[in-house]
Structure 1
Amino acid sequence: MRIVFATDLSDANEAAIESRTCLDCLDNIGVTEVHLLTVVPDNVSSGLPGMDAATDAREALAPQRRVFERAGFDVETHVARGTPHRRINGLAERLDADMIVVGSRGEAPLRNRLIGGTVRNVARTAVRPLLVERIEETPDGHAVRKEHLFQNVLYATDFSENAARAYDFFPALTGATERASLLHVGGREDSASMRDAEERLDELASDLRDQMGIDVETSVRSGNPVEEITAEEERVGATTTLIGARGTSRLRRLLLGSTAESIVARGTNNVLLVPPEATPSR
């Protein structure tokens, strides 16, 4: 499996890269090739005479590269200039990457950080599955919010085609996932609709048990999807939320569903966002 790991060279992203547990999680799902990418905005220079911002960034990537190499991954480093989300998604598409990984600390007014708007823009335009890894401040600096990335996966579905595509990503997590929770959040549905949702989740759960040999539980709720998903994350102790993005476009730009966008933008759990299948160019 080949991934693009986007970093802004901050202490926060170093914390994610240096987490031995997170590196083990990537190894457990079959990641062998890591493309480490940092993006230098066009309007950023080093500010030092005779120095080049891209060269500085490439040198700054060296310690992070060594962490991946010591863990046994094949690593290439990339420095690009331009708009971060465009360069991240562009590299992933050019390399035919299996997944993009970005770190997120929430909103902050710092330049060139993979947070807030950048993560949302990556999610809106991604044509590859996107893992948003949550990072938090600690007394000693920064640390990943939840380790064992794929150990306990919460899958949220509305039974749409895009949700089914996210479900189809489960087999890629074999070797890392020990437990899955399947959730459907409906509106003010009648009892027959609720029973139908329960039966459909039960079928998916049985399929997962057969395919992956893991523990699976199901839950059907009614209410606000974002609130119910975040509540379920807490209840089941999920380490990653798996969800599908909505949107179709020949320009390969996603219009995220409000639920997916809110989970990416405001949630505190790691998120694995699976986009719709890209429309072949003509």
Structure 2
Amino acid sequence: MRAIYATDLSAASEAAIENETCLECLERIGVETIHLVTVVPSNVHPGMPGMDLEGRRERALDRYRGVMEAAGFGVETHVVRGTPYRRINGIAETVRADLTIVGSRGQSPLANRVIGSTARNLARTTVVPLLVNRVEREDERPEVLREHLFQRVLYATDFSENAERAFDAFSYLRHATQEATLVHVESPKDQSETDPEERLAELAETLDGWDIETAIEVRQGDPAEEVLDVEADVVPTTTLVGSRGQSRIRRLMLGSVSEDLVARARGNVYLVPPPRTA
């Protein structure tokens, strides 16, 4: 597997990259090659007075490369200029990446109402599964909030086609997963003749066969709020969810469950997008 590791060379990115347990989890799920990507904003120039931007960038990337190579990964670095989420998606397509990883401090309640962070823009537009690796928000030297990335997974499903696609990610995540909680939130519009607990139980049987200790929950109410409540109760290391994708106009608006989880979840979020259309 090939992974894009997007970094803005901040303390948050460094914390995610240099955490040994996170790197071990990536190795367990089959990642062999990591493409370190940093995007230079178009309004930043190497000759700006008083700043050794190029030198700082090279030293940081060399340090990150050394950490990852010592952990057994093949590493390639990419320094590009432009809009971060667009360039990250472009490189992911070019190198045929299997997932993208980005560190995030999360957002304040007010900032959640504003579009702008790379993590949120990637959540709307990612072309491959996206891991948002959460780090502490306030500390100058932050640490990742939930180590052992996929050890305890909360899987949220509405039984849609893309939710099933997200569940399929367990085929490789299982090598790092010990526990899973499967949750479905019912709405008044649900018309299925199948009991949601039965459908979750069928999924749980698959995970049980992989020696993953599994629990199921059916909730009623607002999907994002209920999933976040379950996350607070079971404290997973990562929440796994599918995204139905957005139209070009819809990407300018807030509100989808997956975007809410990326913005508001306390731990990591693994977002699986729909397959790319030709």
Per the normalisation by structure 1, the TM-score is 0.88
Match of 2:71 in 1: 71
Structure 2 letter corresponding to 1:122: L
Residue 12 of structure 1 and its aligned partner are, at CA, apart by 1.4
Structure 1 residue 268 displacement after superposition: 1.6
Match of 2:88 in 1: 88
Displacement of 1:4 in angstroms is 0.3
Residue 270 (structure 2) pairs with residue 272 (structure 1): yes
Q: C-alpha offsets along residues 109-152 of structure 1, whole Å, 9 cap, x if unaligned?
A: xxxxxx96211111111110000000104767100011011000
Residues 190-226 of structure 1: CA deviation (Å, up to 9, x unaligned): 9x9697111110111112222x221111110001111
2:196 is matched with: 197
9 and 248 in structure 1: CA distance in 2 versus 1, 3 angstrom threshold: closer
Give the AA of the match of 2:272: V
Where has structure 1 moved over 3 Å in runs of 4 or more?
A: 46-56, 137-140, 192-195, 253-257
CA, structure 1 residues 256+275, in 2 after alignment: closer, same or farther (shift >3 Å)?
farther
Gaps of 5+ in 2: 109-114
Report if the CA contact (8 A) 1:116-1:265 is conserved: no
Question: Could you tell me which residue of structure 2 aligns to residue 32 of structure 1?
Answer: 32
* Counterpart residue number, 1:220: 218
Q: CA RMSD in A?
A: 2.7
Q: Does 1:153 align with 2:153?
A: yes
Q: 1:77 to 1:157 in 2, by over 3 A?
A: same
- 2: distance between equivalents of 1:254 and 1:169? 28
SS in 2 for 1:57: helix
- Give the Cα separation in 1 of the matches to 2:49 and 2:145: 39
Residue 230 of structure 1 contacts residue 267 of structure 1 at CA under 8 Å; is this kept in 2?
Answer: yes
How far residue 84 of structure 1 moved from its aligned partner, in angstroms, is 0.1
Paired residues of 1:248 and 1:255 also in contact (CA < 8 A): no
Counterparts of 1:219-258 in structure 2, within 5 Å, are: 219-247=217-245, 258=256
In the other structure, the counterpart of 1:209 is 208
Pick closer, same or farther for the CA change 1:255–1:166 going to 2, 3 Å: farther
Q: 1:92 to 1:254 in 2, by over 3 A?
A: farther
Q: In the TM superposition, what is the alpha-carbon distance from 1:50 to its structure 2 partner?
A: 11
2:195 match: secondary structure: helix
- Structure-1 separation of matches of 2:153 and 2:139: 28
From the superposition, tell whether residues 143 and 181 of structure 1 become closer, same or farther in structure 2 (CA, over 3 Å): same
Question: What residue number does 1:182 align with?
Answer: 182
Paired with 1:254 and 1:95, the residues of 2 have a C-alpha distance of 27
Q: State the one-letter code of the partner of 1:205.
A: A
Comparing 214-223 with 194-203, greater Cα deviation is found at 194-203
Q: Secondary structure at the match of 2:143?
A: strand
Aligned partners of 1:194 and 1:220 also within 8 Å: no
Tell me, what secondary structure is at the counterpart of 2:17? helix
Aligned partners of 1:244 and 1:274 also within 8 Å: yes
Percent identity between the two aligned chains? 57
Deviations 1:13-54 (A, max 9, x none): 111111111111111111110100100011112344698855
Q: Is the 8 A contact 2:155 2:167 kept in 1?
A: yes
2:51 and 2:224 mapped to 1: Cα distance?
A: 47
CA contact (8 A) 1:46 1:56 kept: no
Q: Does the 8 A contact of 1:4 with 1:99 survive in 2?
A: yes
Are the aligned partners of 1:246 and 1:256 in contact in 2 as well (CA < 8 Å)?
no
TM-score (norm 2): 0.89
Inter-CA distance 94–271: structure 2 relative to 1 (3 Å threshold): same
